Amino acid sequence: MLLDEPMLSDVSRLFRALGDNSRLRLLRVLLEAGQPMSQKALAEATGLTQANASKHLIQLAGAGLVTREPQGNLVLFSPVTPLVTSVCAIVCTQVADRIKGIYESLA
């Protein structure tokens, strides 16, 4: 599949969003929770400040990796599945294979 310029921009935004350790921690916590979580709960679970968690959650939502569900005074966040689980599985498998190859070459 060839990507046109607007699609390249969207793909680039998605990969930029995945290129930050704090955002990856937020996604991991959301995936492990298996239910929507508030910004405050996510900040506490990841050790981020609420302001920092908010900044990262906005970027994740903008990249289409999380959804926002207003509930009264709260906004609950959920990972977009199967996108997030599929991308994480592909990347984690690649990293594990690369590390395994490095260790095998040292033996």
Q: Tokens 């569900």 identify what position? A: 69
**Strand order of the sheet with strand 66-71?**
37-38, 74-79, 66-71
What is the CATH code of the structural domain delimited by 5-79? 1.10.10.10
Q: How far, in whole angstroms, is CA 75 from its chain's centroid? A: 17
Strands 66-71 and 74-79: antiparallel
The domain spans of the chain are 5-79
pLDDT at position 72: 94
SS3 for 35?
A: coil
Q: What is the pLDDT of residues 34-73, one digit of tens each?
A: 999 999 999 999 999 999 999 999 999 999 999 999 999 9
